[in-house]
Structure 1
């Protein structure tokens, strides 16, 4: 039996025409007074700037982003409801650090616990939610680490829901960027909680410790943290002109410093870069031939919108090359990967994305399959 060889067929793909004046001088990344930092474009997923992105750090209350993520997931999966009432355990009530001042005699709604966690950074709220979801905070820590691995946070390990010091509890600024992006993308309805400037519970009003919420109208979240070991940490997100960037800054010297350093990064990313949308999800960019199917052409495209991040003025210089494996033989499933897109700038790859089938193609009848087999054998 003759073996058919898979060939790569390359096709230049026309990118949207974007006209800019000559690119202005772009200064280097500003000096950031912290142990590590990370700046990522939310839509493209590309790293704009970083320093020691994979260095292990103590997250402190940035841990609560994962506690929140698993809480939002439990609500989405109907394992919790927003109006469900929970009672703080003795462990939760006696946990030190920041609190929302739960009363063991008064049940509290999951909705209030989320606000107490996200706005007030309440450790008592975190322990209460962790125990409701996993039975114990220890089991919840294992769940947190497993979820981190699923998200691609490969240098993270959680031991508690609060971020209180533990030598086996660590993460990286890169991994925190992954987590922040996941919350914004998957749970936008809960992300809004991080923009609340204060929350009152049990007669006690506490302000959000994210100082940028009061200073920059473009900043709409996310979370701060502090321990003596970690220093002052912050994850922040800002959107402007249809773009969004996420910064992670850890190990600064004060609440003021973490706000100032985060603002430097956010403004750098928004001021000097663009994130053009290259292709829309589920919209055909080309058609390729299919053999032995009930159709002869397969529309191909992308499962999600495709963005890339470049310096301002460089969008028009992008070049895209789309390659597909040939021959493509039915049956083909919708969403099946059939090739890849590589976007380059000045000969350097800036983006790679899988190209997928936009519809299913079933096998054709006996005679069409026979005829296509003959064509493949003869190289027609």
Structure 2
């Protein structure tokens, strides 16, 4: 993976040659350093703007820690996915096994749906029992019903986590019950929440349901944001002695959606207060700066053996960065790609990624695609480019020996 080589001045980004096939793209735009740790008492915190695809705050975002019931977001994702694929129906029923009843139901003395032993429960009700009531019995029953057993379901969770880019998350059960090998990071939890919102917009509404009654036992949704934070519509709380009090929440306001993740707090009160505080700050303290319009050339990548020497790169959509108001720090942007590119290049081919830092915080990461076709050049052009590549390889080998 190399920094992009480009030799022309691009809109709003100054290209600085840093060596053979390497440049840094730097923009003197309004920005700010990473938010101070003192902004929240939570040991682990992450605030993400889904609308602008921007990280607003990060405190130990990549530290693996016990997720408690927030792990059921992955159980939910796999269930939603099976429903969308048609391999599962909401009317399908699964039996509440003795294992699910003892470890996740009434005898467990933890959060439960309170489903009766050996009763048959519809998938639609199990989902509400897991999402609204945080029922371990519901999660275990869904896992066993979908995969045959909870350990087999955990294998599916891990495979799906890799597909979704949750690189530092590991699952051992469907409930989030304590297991030393089950961990998630705040960044991964936020990424999973964003996926649920984007991929399943209609089913996501389950996270906003205020209460659910089963077996004549009514329970309110444990998410404190739903009752008193304007625009809140999800997602999940979690608590074990190992994890402390955690929460992943989402709220919409003025056309923006924020996702907040906290973990490791000492009380449910602190969890609710810190979540509200970070969301308030995220909604009020930032302004949007446009870096590139949709379709605008972000950079140019060198093409070997092409009819032209460079191909323009553009993002799929407009690239915005959120910056704290009245701050004059810099935004740093870098284009990274696997190279060198070899002709032919097709319009729409994914070439690399644009990464934007606000101070030391990576806030935006978006793919870049070829904005036009580049066909193969003539024999002379290919010969010259081939010779340049050989010289470049020789220089790199000499430098390596030194």
TM range, smaller chain: 0.7 to 0.9
1:108 correspondence with 2:121: yes
Structure with higher strand content? 2
Q: Does the CA contact (< 8 Å) of 1:322 and 1:340 recur in 2? A: yes
- Check whether the contact 2:12–2:291 (CA below 8 A) recurs between aligned residues: no
**Which residue number in structure 2 is paired with residue 189 of structure 1?**
202
> In structure 1, which of residues 232, 245, 253 is the aligned counterpart of residue 245 of structure 2?
232
DSSP-derived class of the 1:62 partner: helix
Q: Deviations over 1:306-353 (max 9, x none)?
A: 332211256998687889999976532343234665657799986564
Structure 2 segments unaligned to the other structure (5+ residues): 14-29, 389-402
* TM-score, normalization by structure 1: 0.78
- Identify the residue that residue 216 of structure 2 maps to in structure 1: 203
CA distance in 2, matches of 1:137, 1:326: 43
Q: CA RMSD in A?
A: 4.0
The C-alpha deviation readout for 1:184-230, integer Å capped at 9, x for no partner, is: 23222222211111112233221001111111112221101122332
Mapped pair 1:157 → 2:138: no
1:32 aligns with 2:40: yes
Distance in 2 between residues matched to 1:158 and 1:298, nearest whole Å = 42
Matches within 5 A, 1:1-380: 8-14=6-12, 30-95=38-103, 96=108, 97-104=110-117, 106-276=119-289, 278-279=291-292, 283-285=295-297, 300-313=313-326, 330-338=343-351, 341=354, 351=364, 353-358=366-371, 369=378
Distance (whole Å) between structure 2 residues aligned to residue 141 and residue 349 of structure 1 = 31
CA distance in 1, matches of 2:328, 2:80: 37
Q: Deviations over 1:82-118 (max 9, x none)?
A: 2322222222222222221223554322222212111
Separation in 2 of the partners of 1:349 and 1:107?
48
* CA pair 369-147 structure 1, distance change in 2 beyond 3 A: same
Q: Deviations over 1:241-283 (max 9, x none)?
A: 22222211122232222111111111122221234454465x3
Task: Normalising by structure 2, report the TM-score.
Answer: 0.74
> How many aligned residue pairs are there?
362
Q: Relative to structure 1, is the Cα distance of residues 196 and 325 closer, same or farther in structure 2, using a 3 angstrom cutoff?
A: closer
Do the aligned partners of residues 202 and 295 (structure 1) sit closer, same or farther apart at CA in structure 2, a change above 3 Å counting? farther
TM superposition shift of 1:11: 3.3
